[in-house]
Chain A
Amino acid sequence: MNSRLGKIWLTAGYLFLYVPILTLIIFSFNESKMVTLWGGFSFKWYGVIIHDSEVVNGFFLSMKIALMTATASVVLGMFAAFAMVRYKSFFGRTTFFAHINAPLVVPEVITGLSLLLFFVMCERLIGMPERGIFTIWIGHTTFGLSYAAVVIQSRLLEMDKSLEEAAMDLGCKPFQVFYLVTLPMIAQSLMAAWLLTFTISLDDVVTTAFLSGPGSSTLPLVILSRARLGLDPTVNAIATITVAVVSVGVVAGSLWMSRQERRRAAEQAEAYREGMQAISA
C-alpha cells in the first residue's frame, strides 16, 4: 500500500492518541475555573492541589500501595513463572495456568466484588482484616502477580539454560547459580514486571473502590469522585504531573534497559573472545 496513505494514517492515529492528553495538560495551566475556556496562563491549580490534603494523602497512599503491590507481585510472579516454565508436569498444572490467566480477563468489578465479600466473610468469622491498605494490597496483587508472571515467563522461555549448567559444572552451589547466573539474566524482566505492576496498581480504581475502607482514599478514587461531578481544574493539574512523571520514568527506564542489554551483550562478546584466546594460546 502506498506510503502517503501510511503517513496520513499514522499521523492521524498518533494525533488521536495524544491530542486528548495534550488538551488535558494545556488546560491545567488555565487561570479560569471554567476548564475549557482559556482565561490566561497560570500555575494556580498546582498551588491548589499541593495544599489539598485529600489529594496529597491520596497520592502518598497510592504510592505506598503501588510499592507494596509491585514488590509482592514480582516475587510471587517470579515463582509462578518458574513453575510454568521449568516444571513440565505437576498436579493441577492446567488449573494453575487458568489461575494465572483468569485475573487478566475477568472484569475488575467481579474481582473487586468477590474479594470484598470474601473479606467481609473473614471479618465475621475471624474478626479480620479491616478494609484499608491491606485489603487493597491483596486485591492489586492478585492481578499484579498474573501480569508479572506473564512478563517474567516470556524471558525465562527464551533464556539459555546452558549458562546455568555451565555454572553448575564449574562448581557453583544451586543458590549461587540462582544469584550469579539466573537472577542477572532475568533482572531486566523483573524490572519491567515491577514497573508494570507499579503503574497498574497506581492507576487502579475499580478494585480499589470495592476494597478501600474509611480513610483509605487513594488518588484514583479522589480523581474519580471529582471527575464524576464534572470538569475540575485540579484533576487537570494532577493529570499533568502524572503524565510528566510517567513519561520521564518510562523513557528513562527503557533507556536504562537498552543500555543494560548492550552492556551484557558486550560483556558476553568479551568473555567469548577471551575464551577463544585462552583456547588458542
Chain B
Amino acid sequence: MSIASSIGNYGIVQFLKRNWGRRSVIGIPYGFLILFFSVPFLVVLKISVSSTDALGIHFQDLTSYANGIFELKIKLSNYIFLTTDPLYIETYLSSIKFAVINTLICLIIGYPFAYFMARSPATMRPALLMMVSLPFWTSYLLRVYAWKGLLDDNGVINNVLIWLHIIHDPIKMMYTGFSMTIGMVYTYIPFMILPVYATLVKMDLRLLEAAKDLGATPWKAFWLVTVPLSKNGIVAGSMLVFIPSVGEYVIPELLGGPSTLMIGRVLWDEFFSNNDWAMASAVAVSMVVLILIPLAIFNKFQSDSGGARGL
C-alpha cells in the first residue's frame, strides 16, 4: 500500500467515503446521464423497430401478452430500407468521404501550424495559443455563416477577383463540396492544432540533437523523431475532427448543396420535413454504429500506447 492510499483514510477522502457522501457524488451525475442520455437512446432504439397503428401515428408496444401468448414484434423494415436504398448507402459513403477529406486537410494544414507554434519563442506561445482558441469561443454558427458572405456568387471573394480583373464572371463556390469542405476545415482545425501542439511542445529537443549527431538530416530527423513522437496528438486530433464531422448538420445545411449528402442532415430532414420518427430513429442508430467503429479502434490504439490524452 502506498502512502497516498493509507493517508486516504483521513480528510475529505474519508468524508466522501462515508456512504451517503460517496453515493451522492457518484450517483447524482451518473443518474442524470443514465436518465437523460442512455434511456433516451433506448427510446430511439425502440421506436426504430416499432410498428405504428393503422393511422401511422402512435407507436405500438414491442411486446404484448394476451390469452397466454407472449408476443414480441420487431419491425425491421426501416433497417432493411436503410441497407438497400441506394440513396442511404450513398449518403453514408459521402459522409465518411467528407469527414476523411476534412480530417486530412486539417492534418496537412494543422500539423505544420502546430509545429511552428511549438517551436516559436516560449514567450510568444501563450499568445499564439490563445489566438487559436479564441475563434473557438465565438459562435460556431456565425463562423460558418461568415463563409456564406465570402463564397457567395456576389460574395467578397468573387467581388474582389472581378474588381482585380482576374475573372469576369463569378466562380461558383457556394453550395458545392468545396464550400462545405472549407467550412468544415475552418470549424474543426483548432481541434487538430491543439492536441498536436500539446504533444510537440512537450518534446525533448535533445533528441533532435542526438539524431543530428548520429548523422540524420533535419528532414530525416523530423520524419523519424518528431512525427513518431507526436503520434498521440495526431490520433487524438484526427478523432476530434473526424467524429463530429461525420454527424455534422449545420455546415452542410448552410454551405452544402444537393451534391453534398451528409447523414446528419438526412436525419434532420427525416424528422423535421418528413415527420418520419421511426426512420429518423433508425438513421440515428446506424449513425452510432458508424461512429463506434473508429472510436473502438481509437480506444484500442490509446490503451496500446499508454493512454495519453490529447485535449
Which residues of A approach B to under 8 Å, CB–CB? 1, 5-7, 9-10, 13-14, 16-21, 23-24, 27, 34-37, 76-77, 79-80, 82-83, 86-87, 90, 92, 96, 99-100, 102-103, 105-111, 113-115, 117-118, 121, 138-139, 141-142, 145, 149, 161-162, 164-165, 167-169, 174-175, 177-178, 181-182, 199, 202-203, 205-206, 209-210, 220, 223-224, 227-228, 230-231, 235-236, 238-239, 242-243, 246-247, 249-250, 254
Question: B115 near A23 (CB under 8 angstroms)?
Answer: no
A28 to B156, CA, bound (A): 13
Question: B154 near A114 (CB under 8 angstroms)?
Answer: no
CB distance from A94 to the nearest CB of B (A): 11
> Which residues of chain A come closer than 8 Å to B137, judged between CB atoms?
199, 246, 249-250
Question: B148 near A231 (CB under 8 angstroms)?
Answer: yes
Closest residue of B by beta carbon distance from A102: B37
A17 to B113, CA, bound (A): 12
Closest residue of B by beta carbon distance from A250: B137
Question: A108 near B249 (CB under 8 angstroms)?
Answer: yes
Task: Please name 18 pairs of A and B residues whose Cβ atoms are closer than 8 Å in the assembled complex, sorted by A.
Answer: A1-B119, A10-B116, A17-B131, A24-B145, A76-B32, A99-B30, A106-B291, A111-B40, A113-B267, A113-B281, A115-B40, A141-B32, A164-B12, A174-B11, A227-B148, A235-B145, A242-B139, A247-B138
Q: Among B18-26, B66-74, B75-83, B84-92, which stretch is in contact with chain A?
A: B18-26
Given A111-B40, A206-B249, list of 11 further CB < 8 A pairs? A17-B135, A17-B186, A21-B143, A36-B159, A90-B26, A103-B33, A109-B287, A117-B44, A165-B11, A220-B139, A239-B146
A141 to B247, CA, bound (A): 20
Annotate B20-49 by CB proximity to A: 1 below 8 A, 0 otherwise.
Answer: 001011101110111011111101100100
Question: A23 near B41 (CB under 8 angstroms)?
Answer: no
Question: A182 near B12 (CB under 8 angstroms)?
Answer: yes
A223-B142 contact given A10-B120, A102-B37, A231-B149, CB 8 Å threshold = yes
> Which residues of chain B come closer than 8 Å to A109, judged between CB atoms?
247, 249, 264, 267-268, 284, 287
Question: A36 near B152 (CB under 8 angstroms)?
Answer: yes
Question: For the complex, is B297 an interface residue (Cβ under 8 Å from A)?
Answer: no
> Which residues of chain A come closer than 8 Å to B32, judged between CB atoms?
76, 141-142, 145
| Interface magnitude class on chain B | 35 or more
Which residues of B approach A to under 8 Å, CB–CB? 4, 7, 10-16, 22, 24-26, 28-30, 32-34, 36-41, 43-44, 47, 109, 112-113, 115-117, 119-120, 128, 130-132, 134-135, 137-150, 152, 154-156, 159, 186, 189, 218, 222, 243-244, 246-250, 253-254, 264, 267-268, 271-272, 277, 280-281, 284, 287-288, 291, 295
CB distance from A219 to the nearest CB of B (A): 9
> Which residues of chain B come closer than 8 Å to A100, judged between CB atoms?
29, 33
CB distance from B284 to the nearest CB of A (A): 5
How many inter-chain contacts with C-beta < 8 Å in the A-B complex? 251
> Which residues of chain B come closer than 8 Å to A209, judged between CB atoms?
272
Question: B13 near A86 (CB under 8 angstroms)?
Answer: yes
A205-B243 contact given A99-B38, A174-B12, CB 8 Å threshold = no
A114 to B95, CA, bound (A): 21
CB distance from B40 to the nearest CB of A (A): 4
Question: A231 near B152 (CB under 8 angstroms)?
Answer: yes
Question: A164 near B11 (CB under 8 angstroms)?
Answer: yes
Question: A79 near B249 (CB under 8 angstroms)?
Answer: no
> Which residues of chain B come closer than 8 Å to A105, judged between CB atoms?
243-244, 291, 295
A242-B247 contact given A24-B149, A79-B29, CB 8 Å threshold = no
A82 to B109, CA, bound (A): 38
A37 to B159, CA, bound (A): 8
Question: A23 near B244 (CB under 8 angstroms)?
Answer: no
- Which listed residue, A99, A236, A246, touches B34 by the CB 8 Å rule? A99
Question: B250 near A224 (CB under 8 angstroms)?
Answer: yes
Question: B47 near A117 (CB under 8 angstroms)?
Answer: yes
A145-B139 contact given A10-B128, A231-B148, CB 8 Å threshold = no
A130 to B173, CA, bound (A): 42
- Which listed residue, A86, A107, A121, A236, touches B244 by the CB 8 Å rule? A107
Question: B142 near A37 (CB under 8 angstroms)?
Answer: no
A199 to B117, CA, bound (A): 26
> Which residues of chain A come closer than 8 Å to B4, judged between CB atoms?
161
Closest residue of A by beta carbon distance from B7: A165
Closest residue of A by beta carbon distance from B311: A150
Closest residue of A by beta carbon distance from B159: A36
Closest residue of B by beta carbon distance from A90: B26
